[in-house]
Amino acid sequence: MRTDVSSPLVAAGDAVSSWASSVLAAWGPGADALYLATSEAGAREALAFWAAARATGFALAAPGAFPYTLANAPAGRIGTALGIRGPSVTLLGTFGDALAAATDDLADGLCTRPLVVHLDPVTPALTVTPAPTPWRLTHTVLTPTSLECYPSAPSATVVAGALER
């Protein structure tokens, strides 16, 4: 399959994942699974990809940009950057949804040390025109002892400056 890494859409799609990976790098070592919840990941990319495809004609749509239209694109990039080979789970929802799924799977033995993340823009996409947007990243790492304090597992939140589109 062709991928076009020079596409501006690809670069834009990577900006959020790259920032998230840099934040999570300190938390990643030892994590054997990634649970990422989002409502917006892939949305701006899908809107932009489709708008560009209609403008240029489908035959000239940016091939490398399509994978970034998927909600699990950030989890794939983050997991690769952190070298996580266990479960990679993207949920469409809130940090609580990711926490619940990770806690269930931890209790069921699917993983032993999941990195739990919520990644979304500070303000949701309300327009078809992408614009630089700050993103919020909430994260924690669960261990088997965390099951004793669910759902109050401690977490940290980081907000990026507006990530350029």
Placement of tokens 């917006």 in the chain: 40
Closest CB to other proteins among residues 85, 154: 85
- In the complex, what is the shortest distance from the CB of residue 141 to other proteins, in angstroms, rounded to a whole number? 17
Placement of tokens 């965390």 in the chain: 146
d(CA 94, CA 60): 36
- Residue type at position 104: D
Cis ω for the linkage preceding 151 (within 30 of 0) = yes
Tell me, rounded to whole angstroms, the distance of Cα 98 from its chain centroid. 12
Q: Mask 40-79, x = binds other proteins (CB under 8 A)?
A: xxxx--xx-xx--x---xxx-xxxxxxx-xxxxx-xxx-x
Choosing from 9, 12, 31, 91, the residue that interacts with other proteins (CB under 8 A) is: 91
Contact 161, 117 (CB under 8 A): no
Residue 37, beta-bridge partner list: 91, 118
Q: Does 163 bind other proteins (CB under 8 A)?
A: no
- In the complex, what is the shortest distance from the CB of residue 165 to other proteins, in angstroms, rounded to a whole number? 15
Contact 34, 84 (CB under 8 A): yes
Q: Does 105 bind other proteins (CB under 8 A)?
A: yes
- In the complex, what is the shortest distance from the CB of residue 152 to other proteins, in angstroms, rounded to a whole number? 19
Residue numbers of the site for other proteins (CB under 8 A)?
Answer: 1-3, 33-34, 38-43, 46-47, 49-50, 53, 57-59, 61-67, 69-73, 75-77, 79-80, 82-93, 97, 100-101, 104-105, 107-110, 124-128
